[in-house]
Amino acid sequence: MPRLTNPEQTILTSAYRLFHRRGFNRVSMDEIAVAARVTKRTLYYHFRSKDDLMAAALERQHEIAIATFRTWTDRIQGKPEAMVARMFDELQKWTSQRDFFGSGFTRVVIELAEMPGHPARAIARRHKKMVEGVLADLLLKAGVRRARQRARQIYTLLEGATALMLVHGDRAYVSAAAAAGKAVLEVRR
């Protein structure tokens, strides 16, 4: 992504926060302009449409999230069982935050389900695929056989626990997914 100007960065940050918290369809360009403290004219100068803004906001968030995820994965390397346990511990911490709304990337894909060609969906798919790939690489380095398959299973558990935690407001789903993740690794032998 090209270097951003200050107004662009402010708009992208404000837009992503609003989209993540309230959803793409429930946020207006007027609200984004107010949150970013720019005029609508400035908003439309930088982004032709709400769809373009959503795609740009997700692209920027993808860069931030991947950098954060890689920092996080550096801390969890080691034995496979310990790595998976730490992943679910981190998920437990994330779901405990007062402002937890799940993954903005997942929310976009669900909200725009009837629009499979929307650029924001393509960015979300790429993001999720990259995260799964990083997880697979970690498992491979740790000596897990069929690491890609195991990564997909564990990632499915992480995503499922996140979704069910949002549905039910019950963090016990994270513990259940962690136990299932441990079982996935036991099958690797």
Q: What is the mean pLDDT of each run of 10 residues along the chain (189 residues)?
A: 74 93 91 96 95 93 84 79 89 86 87 90 92 92 93 95 92 94 78
Give the count of alpha carbons within 13 A of 151, CB side only: 21
Instruction: Give the span between the Cα atoms of 137 and 152, in whole angstroms.
Output: 12
User: Shortest CA distance to 150 belongs to which of 65, 91, 80?
Assistant: 80
Which domains are delineated in the chain?
58-186 (1.10.357.10)
Distances in whole angstroms, Cα of residue 138 to Cα of each of 11, 102, 143: 35, 23, 9
Helix (H) or strand (E) holding 79: none
pLDDT at 23: 87
Place of tokens 């069982």: 81
Q: Dihedral (C-alpha) 151, 153, 159, 160: value to the nearest 10 degrees?
A: -170
Place of tokens 């299973």: 153
Instruction: Give the span between the Cα atoms of 27 and 100, in whole angstroms.
Output: 18
pTM: 0.83
pLDDT at 47: 95
